[in-house]
Chain A
Amino acid sequence: MKGYAIRLVLTLAAWLILFGGFTFIVDPYHVNGWSSIPGVNERRTRAHNDGYRVAVGHGLIETQSSTLLFGSSRSNDGFPRTIEDWPGGFENMAMGGTNAFELANAAVLAAENDDVDCAVIGLDLREFGDYPRADATYWITPLAGGSQLQSHIQTSLSLNAFARALQTVVDNVSGGSDERWETAYAPENSRERFDTELAKRYRSYLGYVYDPERPEFVFRGIDALLARGIQVRVFIHPIHSRIEEARWRAGIDGIDQQMRRDLVRLAEERDPAPSRAPCFPGGPLEVWDFSGFPLVAQSGPPSPSGDILNPWYYEPSHYRPNLGLVILDRMLGVAHESPVSPEEFGVRLTSENVEQHWQDVTERRADWLASDDEWARWVTEQYDHLEDDPPAIEQRPHIFLNRDDFISLERRVSRIEAQAARERERAADE
């Protein structure tokens, strides 16, 4: 038996050390500053996608920027990584394919960083759908609540990270890369993506299920930011009208409206203390909507050759950083000219205007569809075809948040709120 026990323990240790050591040294997500071996991992070809979470998890602990941007790939691609002249610094902490669960926990982690003064959170229906609550790599990052050291060990002992490490080494040895990723926004592919995105989104929206617990979950995470005096701006992404129309045709425009009502209600239920170092004019928490068929989202597609590009959008779901900067300007109160001037782009939502706003959106949609715009006609034809021959609804499990998700978030937020309350009392005493 002694031989068996030793063999068992040593074999396990060998597996863990070899597996973990390889992943740690290759460091596919580039979270160790020191590891760069020519021909092995000099080019981090797989640090994107699921790697966003790992980088963001560590980034939220290490960053000294005062303003952080959160959100999905729309935030990630639609804003610069940093903004040079932003007071205190601006850093893009978005994660592709993220959702309410990850965003709430990212907000909590950001709240623990003393350098952070403002948080901008981009949201959309996707974040509140019944999709898996977290990417597999989320659990190996500090976002899940552990320390950076724990995250490094878990990352080294993660199947996802190991697979990315293997791909990284193969890419470095063979000179290859993740071409599909790198050419996603290539000009020559732009028109095709503008056109094919319609059917994809329509199918996705046909099977969309809104989970009303998810907005609540995000706002519980936002509570941690507010407790620490961090100013919060929540905004709805300006997706292109081509895609927004898919929601109406798939019959989920009512859900789109409900999401706005929920966001406004949740924001107004809160009574946060003044922000400690506000970056935007206005109160500690505001909700803005940049979608709803604005002129900029009605812009035409790129030319088939890719010589003429859409100035605002890579493709209908993802806008360009120049539009992201306009979003920030609008919330800062900086004036712009058409088609992104105040009366045409971006509305601050409140309980007083949310119903009227939706009425305006409905009218803008009707005007666009009734206009002479050739692309509005083309879009109508495309959706007519899809309605005549509807695609099969996506077959996937419907995931909802569970008791553990709420308990663990509540525990983290309550701790921050209690700590903030103690600090305020101490400050008041002094």
Chain B
Amino acid sequence: MLFNSFEFLFLFLPATLGVYYVLRRWVAHNAALVALTIASFVFYAWWDIRYLPLLLGSIAVNHVLGLLIEKRGSQPWLAIGIVANLASIGLFKYADFFLGNINAVAGTEIPLPGFALPLAISFFTFQQISFLVDVARRETKTSGWLGHGLFVSFFPQLIAGPIVRHNQIAPQYEDTDRKDDWAENIGVGMSIFAVGISKKVLLADNFEPYAASAFNAAARGDEVGLLEAWTGALCYTFQIFFDFSGYSDMAIGLARMFGYRLPINFNAPYRARSIIDFWRRWHITLSQFLRDYLYIPLGGNRKGPARRAINLALVMLLGGLWHGAAWTFVFWGALHGLALAWCNVLNRFRPNGLIPSMPWVSVLCTFLFVVFAWVFFRATSFDAAILMLQGMAGFNGVGPGVSDEPFIAIAIGLAIVWGLPDTASVFKDWFDDVTLKTAGLVPQKGLRFTTRPWIAGTLAFLLFLSIVNAWNTAEFIYYNF
């Protein structure tokens, strides 16, 4: 079920909100949580009920392991838990990839299992690992079955994040004395949701055809001309940002409608002044996960610059692989790993950017690098990526003309990402201090959300426009991961 689908907007969401608040008001907090958990399972099963047992099994096994770690110490239960979680994601997501590579290298013919990728497995597996590690580190305490079930399955963030830590959300579920300010929950939640769905429906889906056109041509082995390659790469750059940050905004807004606060996931990443800065602004919850559960345990920056560079490269390689079982994703991660290492070196000589008086040069260079790297992320193969890069370098000539629309779309995209503050900045006064601090939010100047009537009218109109344009939208890009 997509957030912008008919059944979600007109049936699932109103019904779930209604039942939740009725139970909270007239029955009990835990009854409302039960309803929310069941609704989340329905939301997940709507996609394919065959994978619901996998989600339920993950909840049960990790909850028991969490209890064992808490009561009997971390070993061997933490190791068992991490191996079990990695095994499940390895089986469903990476088995074909690894066996295919073994077959290619060793000349064997090991049959590929060909499992379909269960929706959200990358996200809920990471959340489970973070839970077990946090319990072992005594950074969180296990909650009841209900709290754990909802921690993993809460429908706004189940499919594509933000990746939530147990100690960020479980205390909110367990707070039975919490007071519902339904007006603020609905008012702020719907407003953030309106911005998110607009990003998805009115922006991302309008970039998609131009991006797909160029990348599909390359995937077919066709030469891509200069204009088509650049418009394709730039359109994909905007598509993935508006798609994923739109999804995150919708998730944060939906959770807020129920009174729960999810972490901020984006903060104007295309305004980053370096790749280090970019990863503090793009998919913030993933960056923090990789930092806390991989980079720091590997030694982080504590063992000298060379080891830091290796650690960064390793973390980003795995980060790339997390996105998809293909070498193009690994290469994308490696590019970012190298860029991070390079930026750390550069920081020693140029701590204030390439040209301190002209910070936009750093922003532009970072943006162009990100566009270049997205080519590998989006391309279906290295050959297709090379064809796209050849086109961008002008090796195939200007190529056939491109209509005006992608250029107009790119101009609009640039104006938005460089001219307007991102959602987190707009709503910064309505996030709590912990959420803002965790995200390290340095808000951009410009628009701020207030409760003035014209803002209600504008956001209602934006939401209305998104709904009447929502019927033919594409699936969220991160649903594939």
Which residues of A pack against B, CB within 8 Å?
A: 1-9, 11-12, 15-16, 19, 130, 132, 134, 136, 138-140, 144, 146, 150, 153-154, 157-159, 162, 392-393, 395-400, 402-404
Can you pick out 5 interface pairs between chain A and chain B where the beta carbons lie within 8 Å of each other? A5-B190, A7-B453, A8-B456, A9-B190, A395-B402
- Interface size class on chain B is 35 or more
Give Cα A391–Cα B267 distance, bound, in whole angstroms.
47
Q: Does B443 contact A (CB under 8 A)?
A: no
Question: Closest CB-CB distance, A406 to chain B, in whole Å?
Answer: 12
Contact across chains for A3 and B461 when beta carbons are under 8 A apart? no
By Cβ-Cβ distance, the 8 closest A-B pairs, closest first, are A5-B187, A397-B213, A11-B460, A4-B451, A139-B472, A15-B464, A2-B183, A139-B471
Residue in chain A with minimal CB distance to B406: A397
Contact across chains for B400 and A153 when beta carbons are under 8 A apart? no
Residue in chain A with minimal CB distance to B458: A11
Contact across chains for A11 and B402 when beta carbons are under 8 A apart? no
Residue in chain A with minimal CB distance to B181: A1
Given A395-B401, A400-B216, A404-B475, are A12 and B187 also a contact pair (CB < 8 Å)? Answer: no
Contact across chains for A5 and B209 when beta carbons are under 8 A apart? no
**For A2, what are the chain B residues with a Cβ–Cβ distance below 8 Å?**
183, 187
**For B459, what are the chain A residues with a Cβ–Cβ distance below 8 Å?**
8
**For B457, what are the chain A residues with a Cβ–Cβ distance below 8 Å?**
7, 11
Q: Does B468 contact A (CB under 8 A)?
A: yes
Contact across chains for B6 and A5 when beta carbons are under 8 A apart? no
Give Cα A149–Cα B212 distance, bound, in whole angstroms.
33
Give Cα A51–Cα B361 distance, bound, in whole angstroms.
51
Most interface-central of A8, A9, A138, A402 (chain B CB within 10 A) = A8
Residue in chain B with minimal CB distance to A14: B460
Q: Does B248 contact A (CB under 8 A)?
A: no
Contact across chains for A158 and B468 when beta carbons are under 8 A apart? yes
Give Cα A392–Cα B403 distance, bound, in whole angstroms.
12
Given A8-B190, A8-B460, A153-B6, are A399 and B468 also a contact pair (CB < 8 Å)? Answer: no
**For A403, what are the chain B residues with a Cβ–Cβ distance below 8 Å?**
475, 480
Contact across chains for B467 and A16 when beta carbons are under 8 A apart? yes
Q: Does B463 contact A (CB under 8 A)?
A: yes
Given A150-B6, A399-B213, are A157 and B467 also a contact pair (CB < 8 Å)? Answer: yes
Question: Closest CB-CB distance, B479 to chain A, in whole Å?
Answer: 9
**Contact check: which of A19, A139, A399 meets B209 at CB < 8 Å?**
A399
Residue in chain B with minimal CB distance to A408: B475
Contact across chains for A154 and B6 when beta carbons are under 8 A apart? yes
Q: Does B217 contact A (CB under 8 A)?
A: yes
Q: Given A1-B187, A395-B401, A400-B212, 7 more contacts at CB 8 Å? A: A8-B191, A12-B464, A130-B216, A153-B6, A153-B10, A162-B468, A395-B402
Residue in chain A with minimal CB distance to B402: A395
Contact across chains for B460 and A159 when beta carbons are under 8 A apart? no
Question: Closest CB-CB distance, A388 to chain B, in whole Å?
Answer: 20
Given A154-B6, A397-B210, are A12 and B463 also a contact pair (CB < 8 Å)? Answer: yes
Contact across chains for B471 and A5 when beta carbons are under 8 A apart? no
Q: Does B469 contact A (CB under 8 A)?
A: yes
Question: Closest CB-CB distance, B367 to chain A, in whole Å?
Answer: 23
Contact across chains for B213 and A395 when beta carbons are under 8 A apart? no
Give Cα A2–Cα B213 distance, bound, in whole angstroms.
46
Contact across chains for A392 and B401 when beta carbons are under 8 A apart? yes
Contact across chains for B6 and A399 when beta carbons are under 8 A apart? no
**For B460, what are the chain A residues with a Cβ–Cβ distance below 8 Å?**
7-9, 11-12, 15
**Contact check: which of A5, A6, A15, A162 meets B184 at CB < 8 Å?**
A5
Contact across chains for B456 and A4 when beta carbons are under 8 A apart? yes
Q: Does B474 contact A (CB under 8 A)?
A: yes
Given A19-B468, A404-B475, are A398 and B213 also a contact pair (CB < 8 Å)? Answer: yes
**Contact check: which of B210, B451, B463 meets A1 at CB < 8 Å?**
B451
Q: Does B186 contact A (CB under 8 A)?
A: yes
Give Cα A136–Cα B349 distance, bound, in whole angstroms.
54
**For B184, what are the chain A residues with a Cβ–Cβ distance below 8 Å?**
1, 5
Give Cα A157–Cα B456 distance, bound, in whole angstroms.
21
Q: Give 1 or 0 for each of B208-233: 1 = CB within 8 Å of chain A CB.
A: 01101100110000000000000000
Give Cα A375–Cα B38 distance, bound, in whole angstroms.
71
Contact across chains for A136 and B213 when beta carbons are under 8 A apart? no
Residue in chain B with minimal CB distance to A4: B451
Give Cα A27–Cα B464 distance, bound, in whole angstroms.
20
Residue in chain B with minimal CB distance to A207: B400
**Contact check: which of B183, B463, B474 meets A5 at CB < 8 Å?**
B183
**For B451, what are the chain A residues with a Cβ–Cβ distance below 8 Å?**
1, 3-4
Question: Closest CB-CB distance, B231 to chain A, in whole Å?
Answer: 10
**For B472, what are the chain A residues with a Cβ–Cβ distance below 8 Å?**
134, 136, 138-139
Give Cα A125–Cα B148 distance, bound, in whole angstroms.
54
Residue in chain B with minimal CB distance to A140: B471
Given A400-B212, A404-B474, A404-B475, are A159 and B187 also a contact pair (CB < 8 Å)? Answer: no
Question: Closest CB-CB distance, A290 to chain B, in whole Å?
Answer: 30
Q: Give 1 or 0 for each of B197-213: 1 = CB within 8 Å of chain A CB.
A: 00000000000011011
Give Cα A1–Cα B186 distance, bound, in whole angstroms.
10
**For A395, what are the chain B residues with a Cβ–Cβ distance below 8 Å?**
400-403
